[in-house]
Amino acid sequence: MELGDDAVRFKIGDRVGVPWLGWTCGACSYCRNGQENLCDLAKFTGYTIDGGYAEYTVADQRFCFPIANSYGDTNAAPLMCAGLIGYRSLTKAGDAKRLGLYGFGAAAHIVAQVAKYQQREIYAFTRPGDDEAKQFALDLGAVWAGDSNELPPQQLDAAIIFAPVGALVPQALKAVGKGGKVVCGGIHMSDIPSFPYSILWEERSICSVANLTRRDGEEFMTLAPKIPVRTEVETFPLEEANEALNRLRAGKIRGAAVLVTESNSA
Ligand SMILES: [Zn+2]
């Protein structure tokens, strides 16, 4: 392992997290307005920067986060992706007291803990019939857990959709009250079916979340060990990445799937 010539923020042996946002230009209008997550030239780890599915990688020190000692490597990993995007989604929900979470996987299991700490009420929506996911949500402090095609017992102030299912957007609009927000937390989503204007009217709104800013990361990585957020992980050796992805698609992972390399499986 080596440090670059100007790398002074960390020393060899420090444990750092390398998130999705790997580089921004610092000069475009988004970067200058505190929206570096939308930077026109942004580079992303494992996508436009090598790394992610790797044992060794090169990372820009300015975009890495220190990780609290209270987390083991595998438990810290989901904080970098599911945790950060979940946290940004939660901030988009504003100060909503009654919060719906659609899709109770890696991101939701972290967001639920942060939301509970902030004294919000969590209403968890899972794939119809997925009783295991419902129980998981209740174990993490949700006040109610039901099928995604059900309406909650109370109108919600906001809902975050983590499942990549466009049909959940009109469902969530029906679940939120006047002025309610529906936040789409995923990168991809199937097409959103058309819906009557009446379920958007009364100042309900829909927004999406893209990437993260370093500020989100600093806030969340300070907050997580304080709560403390506990991550539930299922680990797979790097060679079994495809199996991990298949299980994830099939909804068979409880919490987050984490790939481990030989150097951190010990
Ligand atoms: Zn930029």
Tell me, what CATH number does 188's domain have?
A: 3.40.50.720
| Spacing, Cα 43 to ligand 1 middle (Å) | 10
Interval between CA 35 and ligand 1 midpoint (Å): 8
Residue 25 CA to ligand 1 center (angstroms) comes to 4
4, part of any domain: no
Asked whether 232 and 109 are in contact (CB, 8 A), the reply is yes
Same domain, 63 and 163: no
Say how many Å lie between the CA of residue 22 and the centre of ligand 1. Answer: 12
Which pairing describes strands 156-161 and 98-102: parallel, antiparallel, or unpaired?
A: parallel
Q: How many domains are contained in the chain?
A: 2
Are residues 64 and 96 both part of a single domain? no
Measured in Å, residue 44 CA sits from the centre of ligand 1 at 13
Inter-residue contact 95 to 67 (CB < 8 Å): no
User: In which residue are the tokens 């968890």 written?
Assistant: 124
Give 21 Cα–ligand 1 centroid separation in angstroms: 12
One domain, residues 120 and 203 = yes
- Residue 37 Cα to ligand 1 midpoint, Å, equals 8
State the Cα angle at 211 between 112 and 109, rounded to 5°: 15
The four Cα atoms 124, 128, 129, 134 give a dihedral, to 10 degrees, of -10
- Yes or no: say if 232 and 110 are a contact pair by the CB < 8 Å rule: no
Q: Using the mean position of ligand 1's atoms as its centre, give its distance from the Cα of residue 223 in Å.
A: 27
Same domain for 89 and 199, yes or no, is yes
Output the CA 84–ligand 1 centroid distance in Å. 20
Distance 62 CA to ligand 1 centre (A): 14
What pLDDT, on a 0 to 100 scale, did the predictor assign at position 264?
63
Q: H/E element holding 106? A: helix 106-117
Distance 222 CA to ligand 1 centre (A): 25
User: Do both 77 and 111 map to the same domain?
Assistant: no
Does 246 fall in a domain? Answer: yes
* Predicted model pTM: 0.94
252 belongs to a structural domain = yes
Q: Compute the distance from residue 23 Cα to the ligand 1 centre, in Å.
A: 9
Q: Can you tell me the distance from the alpha carbon of 141 to that of 189, in angstroms, rounded to the nearest whole number? A: 27
Give the HSE-up count for residue 231: Cα atoms under 13 Å, Cβ half-sphere: 28
Residue 113: CB atoms within 10 Å? 21
Is residue 11 included in any domain, yes or no? Answer: no
Residue 59 CA, ligand 1 centroid: distance in Å: 18
Q: State the distance from the centre of ligand 1 to the C-alpha of 32, rounded, in angstroms.
A: 7
Q: From CA 85, how far away is CA 67, in angstroms rounded? A: 17
pLDDT of 148 reads 97
The per-residue pLDDT for 249 is 87
**Rounded CA separation 4/60 (Å):** 9
Backbone angles phi, psi at 19, to 5 degrees: -85, 180
190 and 251 both lie in a single domain: no
How many angstroms does the Cα of residue 40 sit away from the middle of ligand 1?
5
Residue 111 resides in a domain: yes
Residue 265 within any structural domain of the chain? no
Cα 27 to middle of ligand 1, angstroms: 5
Q: 183: which 2 tokens?
A: 């936040």
Are residues 137 and 226 part of one domain? no
98 and 202: one domain?
Answer: yes
Q: Are β-strands 65-66 and 16-17 bridged in parallel, bridged antiparallel, or unpaired?
A: antiparallel
Q: How far is CA 214 from CA 21, 102, 130, in A?
A: 8, 26, 35
Nearest to 89 by CA among 68, 54, 117, 115: 115
pLDDT of amino acid 219:
97
Clarify whether residues 217 and 202 are in a common domain: no
Domain extent for 241: 16-82+213-260
- Same domain as 204, residue 90: yes
User: Tokens representing 25?
Assistant: 């230009």
CA dihedral 168, 173, 176, 177 (to 10 degrees): -170
Report the separation in Å between the CA atom of 39 and the middle of ligand 1, taken as the mean of its atom positions: 4
In the predicted model, residues of the chain with pLDDT beneath 50 are: 266
pLDDT digit string, tens, across residues 200-220: 999 999 999 999 999 999 999
Q: Is 251 part of any domain?
A: yes
The whole-number pLDDT of residue 129 equals 93
Return the CATH number at 247.
3.90.180.10
Among the three residues 167, 184, 208, which one is the final residue of a domain in this structure? Answer: 208
Same-domain status, 123 and 180: yes
Residues 149 and 92 in one domain: yes
Residue 8 domain-assigned?
Answer: no
Distance (Å) from CA 58 to ligand 1 centroid:
20
